[in-house]
Amino acid sequence: MTLVHLVIALALVEFFVFLNAVGRARDTYHVPAPATTGNEVFERYFRVQMNTLEQLIIFVPAILLFARYVHPLAAAALGLVFILGRWLYFRAYVRDPKRRGTGFLIAVIPNSLLLLGGLIGALITLIRYPGLY
Amino acid sequence: MTLVHLVIALALVEFFVFLNAVGRARDTYHVPAPATTGNEVFERYFRVQMNTLEQLIIFVPAILLFARYVHPLAAAALGLVFILGRWLYFRAYVRDPKRRGTGFLIAVIPNSLLLLGGLIGALITLIRYPGLY
Amino acid sequence: MTLVHLVIALALVEFFVFLNAVGRARDTYHVPAPATTGNEVFERYFRVQMNTLEQLIIFVPAILLFARYVHPLAAAALGLVFILGRWLYFRAYVRDPKRRGTGFLIAVIPNSLLLLGGLIGALITLIRYPGLY
């Protein structure tokens, strides 16, 4: 499980980088707190952060379930693709929101696989060993 | 614990459905990224997503703590009520924000019970077995 | 691990308090759903909630990794500092957004230490015992 834990920590470090980028963009584009709108480029940084947050709430439990009920190495590999996809998403989105699709897909496909794999794996385990509820 | 893991996966699948609904609403109501405002109906879909995210950050750890320190079957049952409440919240909110209260309560009550139960259960365990810190 | 679980539950109770404060601010400052803008004081409460959510998605996995790979008592202590920092952040932000820095730092420093400690601890474990993947 340690490799999967390492991948989770890397995904969270990436998110920390996105949070810092939003903080810097707040200064660069003059959007004083508590506002989150008013400058379109700042809003791109902010949306990368929010969208990554939405994906992470799925990613962290999903990769742990996949590692437990399917395979830990496959979980770690899918997790690394997720982290790469989020990085491409960040880079594309802040340049041009219309080009964010590729990075989004490269992240959302492994994330969906982790969740569906974990769900099906847990379901099969429960059917085979109902006493494990 | 497997049944609780399955309920967590189901709650995350439900959240994925809400994320997709926001993506589709972005097209339907012509709210191009990175904006999240400008159309009141789109904002309803967006707020369902954000509010569910806020509840999920509590739900996932809370159901695991409740399952460990109180009872796994009761945790799974409360989790299913939470998922149902979130679905009712989604359906009501996109039709009329004023009617979102019932679904909200049906989800927030089991979520609060999971958190308080997990907290009290962990506290009692710690008092009884201080060596388990 | 029980003490760390208790600290996680306390951090989530604190977040519940922030969610309730936003709900009350919605009424007090007349910002009907689904809007999240339109009153600057309401936006302060809302931003405390959102910023805490961003920190919690890191905090919950990070404190568990730190407890497992570094030390559970140190994890719990850093977690309590995080909770205190978030409280100071909340109190300062709703009074004057410019004064939110101190509370932010008191929370983000232990959160960063938990994440980096967990990451390095997992990495060292993996290098020492590659069979534990």
pLDDT given for residue C51 in this prediction = 96
DSSP A70: T
Residue (of B79, B28, B74) closest to B56 by Cα position: B79
B95 touches chain C (CB under 8 A): no
Across the interface, whether the CB atoms of B40 and C56 are under 8 A apart is answered no
Residue A112's domain is classified under what CATH number? 1.20.120.550
pLDDT given for residue B43 in this prediction = 94
Is pLDDT above 90 for B26? yes
Tokens of B19: 């994320």
pLDDT given for residue A133 in this prediction = 78
How many domains does the structure of chain B reveal?
A: 1
pLDDT given for residue A111 in this prediction = 98
pLDDT given for residue A33 in this prediction = 85
pLDDT given for residue C133 in this prediction = 78
pLDDT given for residue A124 in this prediction = 97
Band (A132; pLDDT cuts 50, 70, 90): confident
Q: Enumerate residues 6+ apart whose C-beta is below 8 A from C114.
A: C59, C62, C63, C65, C66, C75, C78, C79, C82
Across the interface, whether the CB atoms of B133 and C72 are under 8 A apart is answered yes
Contact, A22 vs B10, CB < 8 A? no
| Rg over CA atoms, chain C | 17
C37 touches chain A (CB under 8 A): yes
Q: Whole-angstrom Cα distance, residue C44 to residue C29?
A: 11
Across the interface, whether the CB atoms of A93 and B1 are under 8 A apart is answered no
pLDDT given for residue B131 in this prediction = 83
- Average pLDDT over all residues of chain B: 96
Across the interface, whether the CB atoms of B33 and A58 are under 8 A apart is answered no
| pLDDT tens, position by position, C68-99 | 999 999 999 999 999 999 999 999 999 999 99
- Average pLDDT over all residues of chain A: 96
Sign, Cα dihedral of A91, A94, A97, A98 = negative
Q: Whole-angstrom Cα distance, residue C113 to residue C67?
A: 12
Q: How far from the centroid of its chain's Cα atoms is residue A44's Cα?
A: 17
| pLDDT tens, position by position, B35-53 | 888 899 999 999 999 999 9
pLDDT given for residue B12 in this prediction = 98
A69 touches chain B (CB under 8 A): yes
pLDDT given for residue C14 in this prediction = 98
Residue A65, CA distances (Å) to A71, A114, A118, A120 in order: 9, 8, 5, 10
Residue A9: list chain C partners with CB under 8 A.
Answer: 61-62, 65, 115, 118-119, 122
- Substitution target in A31, A58, A109, A127 with the highest count of B β-carbons within 10 Å is A58
Across the interface, whether the CB atoms of A100 and B32 are under 8 A apart is answered no
Across the interface, whether the CB atoms of A61 and B12 are under 8 A apart is answered yes
| pLDDT tens, position by position, B51-103 | 999 999 999 999 999 999 999 999 999 999 999 999 999 999 999 999 999 99
Give the number of C-alpha atoms closer than 13 A to the C-alpha of residue A41, restricted to the C-beta side: 11
- Answer whether 0.90 is exceeded by the pTM: yes
Q: Note down the domain range covering A44.
A: 2-126
| pLDDT tens, position by position, A97-131 | 999 999 999 999 999 999 999 999 999 999 999 88
| pLDDT tens, position by position, C30-80 | 998 888 888 999 999 999 999 999 999 999 999 999 999 999 999 999 999
Residue B23: list chain A partners with CB under 8 A.
Answer: none
Band (C131; pLDDT cuts 50, 70, 90): confident
Contact, A111 vs A59, CB < 8 A? yes
pLDDT given for residue B67 in this prediction = 98
The alpha-carbon gap from B54 to the nearest alpha carbon of chain A, in Å, equals 10
Q: Which whole number is the average pLDDT over A23-52?
A: 93
Q: Whole-angstrom Cα distance, residue C49 to residue C44?
A: 9
Band (B33; pLDDT cuts 50, 70, 90): confident
C17 touches chain B (CB under 8 A): no
